[in-house]
Amino acid sequence: MNPGSQESEAERYLLGLFDFEKERDARALAKPYTLERVECALDVLGRPERRFRVAHIAGTKGKGSTAEHLYRLVAQLAGGPVGLFTSPHLVSLRERIRLGEELIPPGDLLEFSRRVLELNRERFAGGLTFFETVLIVALLHFKARGAQLVILETGLGGRLDATNAVEKNLAVLTRIGLDHQELLGNTLELIAGEKAGILKRGVPALALKQLGAVNEVFLRRAREVGCALDFVEPPPAPQEVAPSAWENAHLALAAAARLFPDRIGAWPGAAAVAARTVRGRMDARRWRGQDFYLDAAHNGLSMEMLAGELRKYPGHYLLCFAMAAGRDPRDLLAPLLPVVGEAVFAELPGGRPGVSPHLILKVAKGLKPDIRARVLDESLESWMEKPVSGAVKLITGSFYIVGAALSLIEARPQSSG
């Protein structure tokens, strides 16, 4: 069996599972959030995470970038391979599971998917979710390949996120904002409480210092469970560095220093870390003679930060925007529309449930009546290829619209223009 067919078989199985990312409306009734399934599965499998150290990262904004930065910082220091588990993916499901410089090989993806499929049938009557299954596959892969340290990014929330069933050595909390209110609560304090659920007794923790109410929630949880919590308070960001990138860099550096305290002198400066491009986040590309700016911002807080960054570099931005179901378009569009010249609104790629582009257009017109905007009536590729002089094409609103654009950019040669 060739690697391509192995990957396809594994992905067909995994993507065919009940996916909390796709089935928002049915999830509470069909398979409520609980750690019991994944905890039981990990016990049956002999707790694979006990073979390596684990750093666990949760938050509303910056958890993916912080995880990426930490992964790169400690790659040479663990005495063996370093693993990274993130979500969602941009182009290939294999992106969620990385070890060293490599995505999980198709053969490993297939082998461990089959193993978990068998366990799922025998012990859980098919009850393990997509996210739970991919997490377990990742842990089995990391164990088999001799990982020494693994960085886990939560999928959604923290307290009841499947990654919270994994035993850890360090917990890290990034910036908190309003997101997934239907599941996590409609105030910063409630959401912070869910995220702070990753704090566990005896496990050291770091948190970005932010609003006082959020800090108090973190401190209260730390006292309740008996863990040592330290706050990271970055100095003001230099003008040339995005504040969010600056925060993420400082938090990643603090986590690296906590994991490897004897190597503090080896770390680069925060500005150097912040300057590292994270694929699909504040990601500038040149393709077919045109400039693109890709950012997977998908909640109000991340949109505010993206808009703040765009204001530093005034220009004519052409927006292509799509968003997942379950969010209010106003929250994402209100900070973004003032900095864009015109916009097209698209369906969410891949058949995922998204907000209707006609509804998004209506909301956009209400927020900015004079905006030149329409529903995208051609393919994303056609819109991307259509030449527009003196403009930057901005693609944002969801990981999946950014992933679709990246798959085109990375699959086809860059033009000399």
- What confidence tens digit (pLDDT) does each residue in 74-131 have? 987 887 899 999 998 888 889 999 999 899 998 899 899 999 989 998 998 888 888 9
Distance of CA 341 to the CA centre of its chain: 28
**Count of domains observed in the chain:** 2
Residue 215 located in a structural domain: yes
241, 274, 307: which is the final residue of a domain? Answer: 274
CA angle 57, 176, 71 (to 5 degrees): 25
Backbone angles phi, psi at 82, to 5 degrees: -110, 135
Token code pair at residue 114: 């089959």
Per-residue pLDDT reduced to its tens digit, 180-207:
445 554 688 899 999 999 999 999 999 9
- Residue count of the chain: 417
Q: Let me know whether 154 and 183 are in one domain.
A: yes
Q: Let me know whether 42 and 98 are in one domain.
A: yes
Edge-first strand listing for the sheet containing 290-295: 283-287, 290-295, 392-396, 317-321, 342-345, 372-375
Q: Let me know whether 304 and 342 are in one domain.
A: yes
Specify the CATH number for the domain of residue 80. Answer: 3.40.1190.10
Q: What is the pTM of this model?
A: 0.86
Per-residue pLDDT reduced to its tens digit, 209-249:
998 899 999 999 999 999 999 999 999 988 888 888 899 99
**Does position 18 have pLDDT exceeding 50, yes or no?**
no
Full domain range(s) for residue 261: 3-274
